[in-house]
Amino acid sequence: MKSVLFISPMIFHLQLTHYKINRPLGAPLLCSILNKAGHIASFLDAECLKWGPRHIKKLVDDYEYDIVAMTVLYHNRHGAIELAKTLCNLMAASNTWKHTELWAGGPYATTNPLDLLYNGFDKVCVGEGESIILDMIDSKEHIFQGVPVKDLDTLPVPDYDSCSPGFRAYQGNLPRFEWPEAVSMWTRGCGFPCVFCSNPVYSCGRPRLMSPGRVKAELVELKSRGIKHVFVYSDELVGGGPAQNRWLESVCQEIAPLGLTYKTQGRCNPRNELSTLEAMKNAGFHAVMWGCESLSPKVLRNLQKGITPESIWRTLEMSKKAGLRNFLFFMVGGIGEEVEDFEMTRRGLAEMKKAGLADWVQVSIMTAEPGSTLWPIAQAEGWAKTNSLRSHFSPEWSYPWADCKELEKRKAVLDNL
């Protein structure tokens, strides 16, 4: 039996932004797997709690763990490495933590395992951790290759009892509806090849779908804990094609009696259907976040979005007809976005707002993530700055078609429409 602490590292002092939107989902799920196997696992969100060095020292002074694990993302990697070094220094002076192992997993760990080993971690999981975490316990290896979980119904409901702080410590994802809010993921994988997305680091391919009954079981657990609203954080819950449409309609029929409300993400696929969106509305969905990115056909092709301005307009009109709110994601600086391409987006978004099709808009700046197909291009062309904190909302890289000043200007124009 091992005692395991999953900890979300502190980054607020590095990014000057306190991140407490919603509780991470991966660590509670891994806690459930370990606890069911006879270990003692818990999750501590040090970022949400706004911990500092004195809290970490007290943790080492007062508790003893065999394993401390972190999910290392691109935006928190500096905090994770900093925390690992702090723990290593404290462990060297501790009588009880001398044999504690530091583990890492997550997107950054998947693309940069050697960097994390160099910076103090003992074991790194590459890929999805659920398939390999029990094997990591007694192994002497340092890098472990997880494989995608084929049947999502085999995953246990996350162990929310093992988590600190509670749900009410989190604000919920913008835009907010009811509170408290939680995150749930009903699919994994995405079959679309958007060049800026780091989804390929997990070799996800076609979406894997959780059964309606398994979805309901997780939501029943969340409701029993006072949750009123759920952000369904699936890569593309809506817009996967006819088979996924039928599946989603079945899920909606199963969960409608629960009385919870939801928001989710979707793709403006030409194969979206009104019946699916109406089923979502009847089940309690308030809104869909649509990844539009651009209204230039050329830029959409360059980004390999697999959508067109026509399919975007059609989807937004259909969504409104079903009674849903449209939250739109746009991106400036997309590959080859010249002034005339940006003008297509500006004019189109203004028309969408005038027509009542855009209830909320978030504008980001194209940034390549390691693992995306854009990343090697950015490196080869000299755009990438690998030591960046990687904000998607402030210009950090200049492109041949738009420098940082122009990117900032374009974002401000769309923000102020």
User: Residue 200 pLDDT more than 70?
Assistant: no
Pairs from 48-52 (Cβ < 8 Å, separation ≥ 24): 48/8, 48/19, 48/20, 48/23, 48/165, 48/169, 48/170, 49/164, 49/165, 49/169, 50/10, 50/12, 50/18, 51/10, 52/10, 52/13
Give the CA angle between residues 210, 236, 267 to the nearest 5°.
145
- Reported as a single tens digit per residue, the pLDDT across 358-402 is 999 999 999 887 778 888 888 888 887 655 555 676 777 888 999
- Which pLDDT value is given to residue 18? 77
- Asked whether residue 207 falls in the same domain as residue 299, the answer is yes
- Reported as a single tens digit per residue, the pLDDT across 49-87 is 999 889 999 999 889 999 999 999 888 899 999 999 999
pLDDT band, very low/low/confident/very high, at 12 (cuts 50, 70, 90): confident
Domain of residue 72, CATH code? 3.40.50.280
- Asked whether residue 106 falls in the same domain as residue 177, the answer is no
The alpha carbon of 25 is separated from its chain's Cα centroid by a whole number of angstroms, namely 9
Residue 223 lies in a domain: yes
The pTM of this model reads 0.92
- Asked whether residue 131 falls in the same domain as residue 39, the answer is yes
pLDDT band, very low/low/confident/very high, at 202 (cuts 50, 70, 90): low
Q: Are strands 181-184 and 67-71 parallel, antiparallel or unpaired?
A: unpaired
- Asked whether residue 189 falls in the same domain as residue 324, the answer is yes
Percent of the chain at pLDDT above 70?
Answer: 96
Residue 153 lies in a domain: no
- Asked whether residue 217 falls in the same domain as residue 141, the answer is no
- Which pLDDT value is given to residue 344? 98
Q: What domain count does the chain have?
A: 2
pLDDT band, very low/low/confident/very high, at 282 (cuts 50, 70, 90): very high
Residue 302 lies in a domain: yes
Residue 86 lies in a domain: yes
- Which pLDDT value is given to residue 96? 79
- Reported as a single tens digit per residue, the pLDDT across 214-239 is 999 999 999 999 999 999 998 789 99
Where in the sequence is the domain holding 258, given as residue range(s)?
172-415
pLDDT, mean over the chain? 91
- Asked whether residue 251 falls in the same domain as residue 107, the answer is no
Residue 166 lies in a domain: no
- Asked whether residue 77 falls in the same domain as residue 185, the answer is no
**Average pLDDT for residues 198-204, to the nearest whole number?**
62
Question: Which H or E element spans position 162?
Answer: none
User: Residue 273 pLDDT more than 80?
Assistant: yes
Is 284:257 a contact under the CB 8 Å cutoff? no
- Which pLDDT value is given to residue 313? 98
Residue 157 lies in a domain: no
User: Residue 170 pLDDT more than 60?
Assistant: yes
pLDDT band, very low/low/confident/very high, at 140 (cuts 50, 70, 90): very high
- Reported as a single tens digit per residue, the pLDDT across 181-190 is 999 999 988 8
- Reported as a single tens digit per residue, the pLDDT across 92-113 is 888 778 889 999 999 899 989 9
Residue 330 lies in a domain: yes
Lowest mean pLDDT among 20-24, 202-206, 241-245, 397-401: 202-206
Q: Is 71 helix (H, G, I), strand (E, B) or coil?
A: strand
- Which pLDDT value is given to residue 175? 86
- Asked whether residue 101 falls in the same domain as residue 183, the answer is no
Residue 151 lies in a domain: no
